[in-house]
Structure 1
Amino acid sequence: MNLFSPLTLRQLTLKNRIVVSPMQQYSAKNGIPGNWHLVHLGGRAVGGAGLIMTECTAVSPEGLATLSDVGIWNDEQKDAWKNIVDFVHEQDAKIGMQLWHSGGKGSLKHPNEKMKPLPKEEGGWTVKSSSPTEMNGVIPEELTVDEIQELKVKFVEASHRAVEAGFDTIELHAGHGYLFHQFYSAVINKRNDEYGGSLQNRIRFLVETVGEVRRSIPDGMPLLVRISAVDYLETPDAWTLDDSIILAKILRENGVDLITASGGGFANVSKDRVFPNYQVPFSSTIRQQTGIATGAVGMITEAVQANDIIVNDEADLIFIAREHLRDPYFALHSAKELELEVEIPWQYKRAF
């Protein structure tokens, strides 16, 4: 088994273990992906990755972080995504949609404007979260139980549209300080009802949503979840790897097929803690202690490095983000470096 071994999850078979990790492009209008997204995602499919993941895609307008993010809460967005899906499939690659709600980290300006809070007069909105805990200098409103139930429906509706658009898999983004993470981490969640307090209560929103999405998509379609395995905070209420192991076991019991183990979201990680493979132990530990398939992330930039993670059984998939920005053909270059034969688009064969 190596980086270019196939992987089957339910009825989906990936030709290799390289995944284009979700990366925000901040290039949409009204949540609709355009030509930029077609070239960005399609180019990485031409480049040989086995699975192409969309950037985190909002399930409702209030789920956006900025007005330039993509969504899938209406059919116009769904139809635009289908065009991209069809092109990716033509390149013998698979494509997954990452569904997401930013929660209290929403209503921000474009990165070119340093993602400052977006005023109402410029299209900003009231952000809501598990609790009125300050994030990004803003105190969100607390979601009511009825609103939580409505959000679960939004995720199910978005999943239906993703299936209709032809996506091969769905990933729920439950990390990086976004809404699900705002519930399961006690750093943010200060509720005293059935969605707050104990770990079982704090993970309830995510687990219930997973269950409803799992029941609403085809049995043969894998369901993935990205979590922040740790908060990277030295406080008693911080989320820990031990907590993630408990969560991973429960998610597996509820039909999740793979967990991408990332980290952080509420604070900047100190530079001395960021180095090649720095988050791989999260995927390895969760995989070993729960039996669920995992995806590794975190400064994975080289072919031999990525291959070793697979060979050493530390993860089942390698999610590569920034290196794919630098090199859309990372997979093809990696195969050549590892001296492995892979199919190359006939249009590009003379270059390889």
Structure 2
Amino acid sequence: MSPLFTPQTVGPLTLGNRIVIAPMCQYSAIEGVPQPWHSQHLGKLAISGAGLLIVEATGVEAAGRISWADTGLWNDAQESAFADILADIRTYSDTPIGIQLGHAGRKAATSPSWINRGGPAPADKAWETFAPSPIPFKPDWHQPTQLDEAGMDRVISAFVQAAGRAERAGFDLVELHAAHGYLLSEFLSPVSNRRTDDYGGSAENRMRFPLRVAQALRDAWPRTRALGVRFNGSDWVEEGVDIEEVQAFARALHDIGYDYLHVSSGGNVAGAPIPGTEPGYQVPFARAVKQAVPEAVVIAVGMILEPAQAEAIIAAGDADMIAIARAALDDPNWGHHAAVALGVPQIMPVQYQRAGHAVWPTPRAD
């Protein structure tokens, strides 16, 4: 049996294989409401051959969106639209589908990535942003408002309410976004968190608010559905988080009751020297988390492009699951093609089975 295509238990879920379609921002929502683009984007990935599909980073409050075109889950219209998309997908796919809930913090109020390179939104589309400390992401970006206790309580409440909406909409899983320099990641990193109160300074203090959010979400999300978290393994600068802090955060999350740990990196420091084109460049962080919390389900992500590469990561014990993103945009049938490459039978929708690898003529040896 191929390690990549061995079933995996994630809390109450049993996935058919170890392939995860990672959350990928589409910047195509209107007032936080997913649109027809999301229907076709998610619909095709739900028949991609992956064991799990996770919907893009979705703001728990309007101020928490990355851009003005992000999806949200703070009102009835957004909840209803997601429910409709899931109901349609369920007529042809039983692939478990999750949603990543997040707050963009000081990196909110931007334009979509293809407009002004995702820089600050124009004045008529911008809004007040919030952060652990009033430090702009870049010198020419807006200055965020430092979150006070009331603001932190508001954000926690927003995560809890969004979880309730995700449950009613029919999601099988929620992933807490604590990576990529967004709000929870900002609290964790000494680069962006310069507070002198109980939420800044030591690693224990910097973890305090993210763990409050994590605990509130764990309490709100039913144990009958899976709950995971994505967080950074590195800020890619010497003064950023260190691996011992990352491992301690991972242990705390596992002990709270999170069903998987999804290890990414970067996003807190503009211009950090990230080797983002190097295949598997984030796998060492997943390996370090797996070593620190061996009983946890760990997901590796980051320029994992080839089936043999993904198979080797699982076989080596560096991670339990593999998340792909750009590879899935390039090839929405990556999971099916990986099965062929690794000698595993394809499991395709009946409508597509006549195009499966097994029915194609055998290529000539020449």
**Band of TM-score, shorter chain:** over 0.9
Percent of residue pairs identical: 39
Match of 1:117 among 115, 120, 132: 120
Match of 1:247 among 230, 246, 249: 249
1:308 equivalent in alignment to 2:309: no
Q: Is the 8 A contact 1:88 1:95 kept in 2?
A: no
**Residues in 1 aligned to 2:263 and 2:289: alpha-carbon distance in whole angstroms:** 8
Shift of 1:87: 3.5
Give the structure-2-normalised TM-score.
0.92
The residue that corresponds to 2:331 in the other structure is 327
Shift of 1:281: 1.2
The residue correspondences of 1:63-102 to structure 2 (distance < 5 A) are 63-89=64-90, 90-102=92-104
**Residues in 2 aligned to 1:38 and 1:273: alpha-carbon distance in whole angstroms:** 29
**Residues in 2 aligned to 1:272 and 1:210: alpha-carbon distance in whole angstroms:** 29
**Residues in 1 aligned to 2:125 and 2:275: alpha-carbon distance in whole angstroms:** 38
**Structure 2: gaps spanning 5 or more residues:** 357-366
**Residues in 2 aligned to 1:325 and 1:282: alpha-carbon distance in whole angstroms:** 24
The residue that corresponds to 1:20 in the other structure is 21
Shift of 1:119: 3.5
Shift of 1:289: 1.5
**Residues in 2 aligned to 1:217 and 1:263: alpha-carbon distance in whole angstroms:** 26
**Residues in 2 aligned to 1:165 and 1:184: alpha-carbon distance in whole angstroms:** 31
Q: Is the 8 A contact 1:232 1:267 kept in 2?
A: no
Per-residue CA distance 1:189-241 (angstroms, 9 max, x = gap): 11111211211111111111111111111112221110011110122xx1111
The residue that corresponds to 2:278 in the other structure is 275
**Structure 1: gaps spanning 5 or more residues:** none
**Residues in 2 aligned to 1:27 and 1:36: alpha-carbon distance in whole angstroms:** 7
Instruction: In structure 1, give the amino acid aligned to 2:257.
Output: G
**Residues in 2 aligned to 1:135 and 1:269: alpha-carbon distance in whole angstroms:** 12
Q: Closer, same or farther in 2 for the Cα pair 1:247/1:176, shift >3 Å?
A: same
Match of 1:346 among 334, 343, 350: 350
**Residues in 1 aligned to 2:160 and 2:199: alpha-carbon distance in whole angstroms:** 19
The residue that corresponds to 2:261 in the other structure is 259
Q: What SS class does the counterpart of residue 147 from structure 1 fall into?
A: helix
Instruction: In structure 2, give the amino acid aligned to 1:276.
Output: P
Shift of 1:271: 6.1
**Residues in 2 aligned to 1:64 and 1:342: alpha-carbon distance in whole angstroms:** 38
1:288 equivalent in alignment to 2:281: no
Per-residue CA distance 1:270-329 (angstroms, 9 max, x = gap): 365641111111111111211221100111011111111112211111110000000000
**Residues in 2 aligned to 1:320 and 1:276: alpha-carbon distance in whole angstroms:** 12
1:159 equivalent in alignment to 2:163: yes
Give the structure-1-normalised TM-score.
0.96
Question: What is the RMSD of the two structures over their aligned residues, measured on CA atoms?
Answer: 1.4
Q: Is the 8 A contact 1:88 1:94 kept in 2?
A: no
